[in-house]
């Protein structure tokens, strides 16, 4: 049974994030102890208190960054989407012999995300097979199903349009991962459900994964946890911001 479109939503930790005091003695809503004492942060996340601090910090950052992008005008979001589409087409043209027949997983925009649906239609006309990710089983990897401009979309929770169950399931060659936030070392702040990380850990062969978002959503760090997986590339309206060299 289809339950939602992509990320699975927030993963809140507790109800007291507006007034939280770290066990270490540092206090903030949420905890910024790692900014004050860098040796506080344990990248292996073996400290459950610290893992909870990171979860609270991420929740607050998601809210801040979503508010930031929702404050953009329709014209600003449209211009960013058009710039991202140009960059993506250039990547396909410059680094792949042919895109015809390639399976390209995009996303249906929600909550002020860059709208790449015109690019999806254009690539479809050029012979690229377009897919969309969706959650079909909770706490399991995403499923990718074929999309065309003629697809009669179904609705998951939150009313996110998704391909219907009869649409063929496919394995993408390239997958876009919408970003709430991003870092120079290639990490993605998503919506908190963990579905993209779970999917990337399971996919074989692994597709080229490109994080797509706004330049203003750059973060110094997301305080990576063991389950976080680096993306192959981060792309904003300013171009390729970080990522491995394509052959």
pLDDT tens readout for residues 195-227: 888 888 888 889 999 999 999 999 999 999 888
Closest CA to 183 of 112, 226, 233, 246: 233
Taking the C-alpha atoms of residue 121 and residue 153, their distance in angstroms, rounded to an integer, is: 15
Residue 34 pLDDT more than 60?
no
**Neighbour tally for 36: CB within 10 Å:** 13
Nearest to 6 by CA among 116, 151, 93, 136: 136
CA-to-CA distance for 92 and 244, rounded, in angstroms? Answer: 15
Q: Write down the mean pLDDT value for the chain.
A: 83
In a 13 Å sphere around the CA of 213, the CA atoms on its Cβ side amount to 31
What's the pTM? Answer: 0.81
Asked if 51 contacts 11 with a C-beta cutoff of 8 angstroms, the reply is no
Work out the angle at residue 32's Cα, subtended by the Cα atoms of residues 26 and 36, and round it to the nearest 5 degrees.
70
Residue 159 has pLDDT above 90, yes or no: no
Report, as an integer, the average pLDDT of 167-195: 94
Q: Give yes or no for a contact between 231 and 187, defined as CB atoms under 8 angstroms apart.
A: yes
- Token look-up 């007291």 returns 16
End-to-end Cα distance, the chain: 39
> What are the structural domains of the chain?
74-243 (3.40.50.10420)
What's the rounded Cα separation, in Å, for the pair 72 and 65?
11
Q: Could you tell me which residue, 146 or 16, shows the higher pLDDT?
A: 146
**DSSP state letter for 39:** G
- Alpha helices per DSSP H over 71-194: 74-95, 117-125
Report how far residue 126's alpha carbon sits from residue 11's, in angstroms, rounded to the nearest whole number: 39
Q: For the segment 37-91, what is each residue's pLDDT rounded down to a tens digit? A: 444 455 555 578 888 999 999 999 999 999 999 999 999 999 999 999 999 999 9
Beta-bridge partners for 50 = none
Confidence of residue 7 (pLDDT cuts 50, 70, 90): low
The 10 Å Cβ neighbour count of residue 113 is 21
């Amino acid at each position: 049974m289809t339950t939602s479109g992509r990320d699975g939503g927030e993963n809140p930790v507790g109800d007291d994030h507006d007034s939280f005091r770290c066990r270490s003695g540092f206090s903030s809503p949420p905890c910024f102890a790692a900014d004050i004492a860098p040796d506080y942060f344990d990248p292996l996340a073996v400290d459950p208190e610290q893992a909870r601090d990171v979860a609270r910090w991420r929740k607050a950052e998601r809210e801040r960054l979503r508010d930031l992008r929702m404050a953009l005008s329709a014209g600003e979001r449209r211009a960013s989407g058009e710039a991202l589409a140009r960059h993506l087409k250039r990547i396909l043209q410059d680094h792949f012999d042919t895109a015809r027949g390639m399976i390209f997983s995009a996303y249906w925009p929600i909550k002020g995300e860059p709208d790449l649906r015109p690019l999806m239609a254009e690539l479809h006309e050029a012979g690229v097979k377009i897919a969309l990710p969706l959650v079909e089983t909770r706490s399991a990897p995403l499923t990718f199903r074929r999309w065309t401009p003629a697809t009669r979309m179904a609705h998951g929770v939150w009313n996110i349009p998704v391909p219907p169950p009869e649409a063929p399931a496919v394995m993408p060659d390239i997958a876009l991962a919408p970003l709430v936030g991003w870092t120079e070392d290639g990490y993605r702040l998503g919506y908190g459900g963990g579905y993209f990380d779970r999917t990337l850990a399971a996919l074989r062969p692994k597709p080229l994964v490109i994080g797509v978002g706004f330049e203003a959503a750059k973060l110094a760090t997301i305080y990576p946890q063991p389950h976080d997986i680096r993306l192959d590339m981060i792309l904003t309206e300013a171009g390729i911001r970080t990522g491995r060299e394509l052959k």
